[in-house]
């Protein structure tokens, strides 16, 4: 049985070792309808050759970069542990003016990072971490939770939808400056708290 506890920045060396990878068997294709006035048509398409997306190996989830970039005073860090081993983690950002994902709002939380060891996926760890992030956000008086995923992370998209989140933003070319991500489409999920 796993437990979740809030941690400080001093324990991030444990947090950052939690793997952050998943198998890509399908992606969501996004078709723009009527120049966007008709919305989007999103369909799941199998990929010709499945692959493993590993954020840590690609250097996109390295913690020191974003911990050092922002004042984490109004952030919360959670660790899921089982038998003394870290199996999952979540980071919630709030009230940080220079964090663009927060849109300059004082009432918005962003689930900045969510990771579960692949050996522990589908065991309720992610759900428990997100529920703890929601609880913390409500306790802080925040009114919405915003979450970023990509069209290649179909399992995460389905998970957030199952948690009651709504896909309210689709951003093409969001990763244009990152060669290995430039073909991915940003999905922004929202949950009213």
CA distances from 119 to 11, 19, 29, 126 (A): 22, 10, 28, 12
pLDDT band at 34 (very low <50, low <70, confident <90, very high): very high
How many CA atoms does the CB half-sphere of 174 hold within 13 Å? 15
Residue-level length of the chain: 193
Amino acid 59: pLDDT: 66
The pairing of beta strand 40-54 with beta strand 21-32 = antiparallel
Average pLDDT score over residue span 147-169: 98
Three-class secondary structure of residue 14 per DSSP: helix
Q: Which secondary structure element, helix H or strand E, spans residue 154, and what is its range?
A: helix 154-162
Worst-scoring range by mean pLDDT, 39-53, 65-79, 145-159, 178-192? 65-79
pLDDT (tens digit per residue) in 58-69? 766 555 566 778
pLDDT (tens digit per residue) in 100-130? 999 999 999 999 999 999 999 999 999 999 9
Nearest to 151 by CA among 100, 188, 110, 191: 188
CATH fold of 3-192 reads Aminopeptidase (3.40.630)
> 78 pLDDT exceeds 60?
yes
Q: Is 26 left (phi over 0), alpha (psi -120 to 50) or beta?
A: beta
Amino acid 63: pLDDT: 58
Average pLDDT, the chain: 94
pLDDT band at 56 (very low <50, low <70, confident <90, very high): confident
Q: What's the DSSP call for residue 142? A: -
Question: Alpha-carbon distance 47 to 5, whole Å?
Answer: 38
């Amino acid at each position: 049985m796993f437990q979740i506890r809030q941690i400080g920045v001093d324990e991030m060396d444990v947090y950052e070792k939690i793997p952050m990878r998943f198998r890509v068997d399908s992606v969501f294709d996004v078709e723009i309808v009527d120049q966007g006035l008709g919305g989007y048509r999103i369909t799941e398409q199998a990929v010709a050759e499945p692959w493993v997306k590993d954020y840590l190996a690609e250097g996109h989830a390295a913690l020191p970069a974003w911990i050092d970039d922002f004042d984490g005073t109004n952030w919360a860090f959670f660790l899921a542990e089982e038998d003394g081993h870290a199996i999952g983690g979540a980071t919630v950002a709030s009230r940080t003016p220079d964090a663009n994902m927060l849109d300059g709002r004082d009432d918005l939380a962003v689930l900045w990072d969510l990771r579960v060891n692949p050996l522990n996926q589908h065991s309720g760890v992610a759900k428990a971490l997100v529920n703890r992030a929601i609880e913390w956000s409500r306790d802080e008086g925040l009114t919405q939770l915003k979450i970023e995923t990509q069209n290649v992370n179909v399992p995460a998209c389905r998970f957030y939808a199952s948690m009651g989140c709504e896909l309210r933003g689709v951003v093409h070319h969001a990763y244009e400056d990152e060669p290995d991500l430039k073909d991915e489409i940003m999905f922004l999920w929202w949950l009213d708290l």
